[in-house]
Structure 1
Amino acid sequence: MLYRFKSKATGDVVMLEHTGKRVLEILGKDPAGPGIILPEQMAAAIDALRAAVEQEEAKARRQREEAQAKGEELPEPPEERVPLRARVAPFIEMLQHCQRERCEVVWGV
């Protein structure tokens, strides 16, 4: 399943199911059906996504530091996975543009 986020002000942003569902959960939206983010909700949505990125990066740093302290290797080399920062960057750009244009973002419609 794909999540396709649409607006009248930008091109579509498409995410695989896992990422799209995670993004909607971060935003407090129901990933099961169609939805909308209104322009007045976009600042909070951007802040929530940025906070989630910071949490993920802090967790990865802690895991690296703990593994190094124990002389262990991380089970998954960091360069082999795509971080949340990279996955949500196009969506954050979409939200910023739509916020400036006062245009909503919809999905599942």
Structure 2
Amino acid sequence: MSIITFKSRAAGDVIMFGKVAKVLLAVIGKDPEDTRGIVTVVQLPGAIAALRDAVAADKARAPAVSEDSDDEDAPRGMEGPVALWQRAAPLIELMQYSLAEEQPVIWE
């Protein structure tokens, strides 16, 4: 199992399992098989927009789960699967800080 770390001088590192990181790299138009790469400051607005679009699509596909549900077997909290939109949130935040500070994001 591989680990990919996203880095920027604007914020702390975001560390992800390779499988998830590769999905997010593909979403922003980067080659998921590249072991290292960069999202330039110029590319950051497009990357953030692409991730936000993927998050919106993921939320639209997810079934609505009510906290008041009587279903004892329904996953809640840490017991349920982690959705793409939840996994993308730290990367979006890193990219937003990077854009504000005009710093690129690299991964390795």
Which TM-score applies when normalising by structure 1? 0.79
- 1:8-27 equivalences in 2 (<5 Å): 8-27=9-28
Count of residue pairs the alignment pairs up = 96
Give the corresponding residue for 1:53.
55
Q: CA-to-partner distance for each residue in 1:53-105, whole Å, 9 max, x for gaps?
A: 111121224xx6xxxxxxxxxxxx56411112211111111100000111000
Correspondence 1:6 to 2:7: yes
- Percent identity for Structure 1 against Structure 2: 40
Give the corresponding residue for 1:35.
37
Structure 2 residue identity aligned to 1:51: D
Structure 1 residue identity aligned to 2:9: K
Give the corresponding residue for 2:46.
44
**3-state DSSP of counterpart to 2:54:** helix
Give the corresponding residue for 1:89.
89
Q: Which runs of 4+ in 1 moved over 6 A?
A: none
**3-state DSSP of counterpart to 2:43:** helix
Cα distance in 2 for partners of 1:78, 1:4 equals 29
Cα distance in 1 for partners of 2:85, 2:75 equals 13
Query: Which one has the bigger helix percentage?
Result: 1
